[in-house]
Amino acid sequence: MKKTLIFAAFLLSACVAIAQKPNTLTKKEKKEGWKLLFDGKTTKGWHTYLRDTVGAKWQVKDEALVFDPSQPNSGGGDIVTNETFENFELQLQWKVAKGSNSGIIFDIQEDPKYSATYLTGPEMQVLDNKDASDNKKQNHLAGCLYDMAGDSTVSRPNPVGEWNQVKILQDKGHLTFWLNGIKTYEGQIGSEEWNKMVAGSKFRNAMFSDFAKVARGKIALQQHPGSSEWRNIKIRSL
């Protein structure tokens, strides 16, 4: 019964978020300390990883932040927040085109010695579970802790073209993921269980020697095959 009530409350909050004008905060949210990471009009607050500006593949269309793969390759790359975050609650909505793949990466240490965001930051997977090529492994499905935890029993994205609701909590390295009101992962960075998951993943390789070593960093939206859209990106410090 308790789980049912929690799920119903989450769905209600998600419906309220969809009903209000996209990319805005209510008075209550402002009082609670929420801030927008996307204003619905510009890419202010973001930049392409290891660059100063946002590449042309990332555009604002119809109040959404859109990754458009049809634009020149020189305009690509993951985009990251200008700010760093440590203990936080992040909420956002995403949708993808058929066959598309992306991700939400966090705790990124932006430094030229790391050529990519995923070398230091864990990822919540964003995926078209049905038609994307990266759907073969269970822990590669939407909402999962990428290549480490999760499976089809918790990965329940909405059909392609519909918005999905994400919540990510990080509190002193303790992570909890939700996708569309379903908890897809909970655990502690650096714990024995975490280290076992790393040892069984691609992150065991030497190139990932600094993966998830610091529970503080920047947040990225990932360039990957296909197109993705993002809105209502907001965060509050814990």
Predicted local distance difference test score (pLDDT) of residue 33? 98
Count how many domains the chain has: 1
State the residue range of the domain holding 105: 2-237
Predicted local distance difference test score (pLDDT) of residue 106? 98
Per-residue confidence band for 221, with pLDDT thresholds at 50, 70 and 90: very high
Q: Which residues contact 71 (CB under 8 A, 6 or more apart)?
A: 55, 56, 57, 59
Q: Which residues contact 122 (CB under 8 A, 6 or more apart)?
A: 105, 106, 107, 145, 146, 148, 175, 189, 211, 212
Per-residue confidence band for 4, with pLDDT thresholds at 50, 70 and 90: low
Q: What are the C-alpha distances in Å from 43 to residues 47, 86, 98, 142, 233?
A: 8, 22, 25, 25, 12
- Per-residue pLDDT for 228 more than 50? yes
| pTM across the whole model | 0.91
Please give the angle made by the CA atoms of 177, 178 and 184, to the nearest 5 degrees.
Answer: 70
Per-residue confidence band for 17, with pLDDT thresholds at 50, 70 and 90: very low
CATH number of the domain residue 88 falls in: 2.60.120.560
Predicted local distance difference test score (pLDDT) of residue 73? 77
Average pLDDT (62-85) is 92
Average pLDDT (144-153) is 98
- Per-residue pLDDT for 18 more than 70? no
Burial class (CB in 10 A: 0-12, 13-18, 19+), 183: middle
Predicted local distance difference test score (pLDDT) of residue 1? 59
Predicted local distance difference test score (pLDDT) of residue 10? 53
Of 179, 194, 224, 17, nearest to 107 by C-alpha is 194
The 3-state DSSP class for residue 186 equals: strand
Burial class (CB in 10 A: 0-12, 13-18, 19+), 127: buried
Average pLDDT (90-108) is 98
Q: Which residues contact 115 (CB under 8 A, 6 or more apart)?
A: 50
- Mean pLDDT of the residues in the chain: 93
Residue 209, Cβ neighbours under 10 Å: how many? 11
